[in-house]
Structure 1
Amino acid sequence: MSYPADQTANPAPLGLLGFGMTTVLLNLHNAGLYELNSMILAMGIFYGGLAQVFTGLMEWKKGNTFGTVAFTSYGLFWLTLVALLILPRLGVAVPTASGGMVAFFVMWGLFTAVMFVGTLTMNLATRVVFGSLVILFALLAVGDALGDAMIGRIAGWEGIFCGLSAMYAALAQVLNEVYGRVVLPLGEKAPA
């Protein structure tokens, strides 16, 4: 019995844009350019959160374990981060103590470091996204552990780079598919 070929679209650009745009917006705040506001929180819930979870489910349908784990996990990261910020304001949770986010950032950094190892067989754009995200989590953890606002601002600028790199990877995939040729290079690995 033969099965029809998979004719579904590539969901990765949606997830990368959800991650990238939300990461840029939050890190504009981390860099000290403006306050944490409802726009960032809404992006964290809907585009960074739900869109990535949906993308992870679509990657599962395509049989892509890496995409499933990455997009679903980072979507749930955004939903968790927003919950950590708003639950105390709603009076349903105790606020995280000063320096209390260190474990959160370390765990996500460790997860991301292992996922980065998985990108070593992928294109350069994907490696840049995950590599810069490892650095971002490290800076956030160190900045929080030391209570150092300058490290937090540096993390913000590095996070803007990380988010922009994800946006580039997403839009390159979209434009390359639409035009049927390389419009924006992803740094594909040469065949062995």
Structure 2
Amino acid sequence: MSDIEKGSHHDGPSTRLTHAPRPSGVANPASLGLFSFASTTFMLSFYNVSVRGIHTPNVVVGMALFTGGLAQLLAGMWEFPRGNVFGATAFTSYGAFWLSYASILIPGTGIAAAYTTKDELHNAIGIYLFSWFIVTFLFLIASLRKSIAFILLFSCLSITFLLLGVGEFVSKTAIVTAGGAFGIVTAFIAYYIGLSDLLAADARPLVGLPTGGFKHD
């Protein structure tokens, strides 16, 4: 069972993100969704901080299409029959985010080329990122009764989107770099939660990773 799925009354690897999960024969897809999100976020965030002099993020397109996009979208679809509304909505939403982001970077779509000036393109991307900041902030509100780990995840991700959006609006590399740094932190938190879920799915795990689950009456 999953952090994103089942309830817990102790500080262990599982935290309630839905009140009444339905029995299902579908295997828990949470680790797949979290690892896919984390890996794609990790890669793009490294590009945003210009690791090893990389300034062009287009190598992330494949990851955004198939890992952050398709794999995460499938994880979201598999969460629906399990009755996990939060996990299904989050995975599906961010899977769609990565697919839409990849479409901006693919030259054949003509999306970026449709803008006649760099300022217009930056402002358009800034609005795009700010809309995802709003979505992520709403997920943060929904996570406040779930666990410390999820609060940290959506807090860092909210800051990431906010900084990247502002960086596009004002065309300041330093702000984009700060957003990339928060993105790296976000990726490692997602890796941690995904590993916690993966270990919890084992009947006899060698070790458990606590996520700071809250007690609910």
TM-score, normalising length: structure 2: 0.80
- 1:54 is matched with 74
Aligned residue in 1 for 2:45 = 27
- Following TM superposition, by how much is the alpha carbon of 1:181 offset from its aligned partner in structure 2, in angstroms? 7.7
C-alpha contact (below 8 Å) 2:163/2:179 kept by paired residues: yes
**Larger displacement relative to structure 2 (68-77 or 119-128):** 119-128
Match of 2:101 in 1: 81
Percent identity among equivalent residues?
32
Which residue among 155, 164, 173 is the counterpart of 2:197?
A: 173
Shift of 1:43: 0.7
- Superposed CA deviations along residues 85-122 of structure 1, whole A, max 9, x for unmatched, are 11xx2263314623321111111111111111111121
Q: Out of 151, 157, 160, which is 1:127 matched to?
A: 151
1:186 matched to 2:211? The reply is yes
CA drift of 1:48 comes to 0.1
Of the three residues 10, 33, 36, the one matched with 1:15 is 33
Amino acid aligned to 1:57 = M
Residues 123-179 of structure 1 show CA distances to partners (whole Å, capped at 9, x for unaligned) of 211111111111111101111111100011111111000011111100111113223
Q: How does 1:134-145 map to 2 (within 5 A)?
A: 134-145=158-169
Match of 1:97 in 2: 121
Q: Which residues of structure 2 form unaligned runs of 5+?
A: 1-21
TM-score by length of 1: 0.90
Q: Distance in 1 between matches of 2:55 and 2:195?
A: 28
In structure 2, how many angstroms separate the alpha carbons of the residues matched to 1:134 and 1:49? 19
Q: For the Cα contact (< 8 Å) 2:35–2:194, is it kept in 1?
A: yes
The match for 1:71 among 91, 105, 108 is: 91
- In 2 relative to 1, CA 81–14 (structure 1 residues): closer, same or farther, beyond 3 Å? same
- Supply the distance in 1 between the matched residues of 2:91 and 2:37 (Cα, whole angstroms): 8
Task: Give the aligned partner of residue 186 of structure 2.
Answer: 162
The answer on whether the counterparts of 1:51 and 1:75 sit within 8 Å (CA) in structure 2 is yes
Could you say what the CA RMSD is over the residues aligned between the two structures, in angstroms?
A: 1.9
Is the contact made by 2:44 and 2:57 (CA closer than 8 Å) also made in structure 1?
Answer: no
> Runs of 4 or more off by more than 6 Å in structure 1?
none
Choose which of 173, 180, 202 in structure 2 pairs with 1:149. 173
Name the CA shift for 1:97/1:128 in 2 (closer, same or farther; >3 Å). same
Deviation at 1:180, TM superposition (A): 4.7
When residues 174 and 92 of structure 1 are mapped into structure 2, their CA distance, relative to the original with a 3 A threshold, is same
Query: Is it true that 1:118 corresponds to 2:136 in the alignment?
Result: no
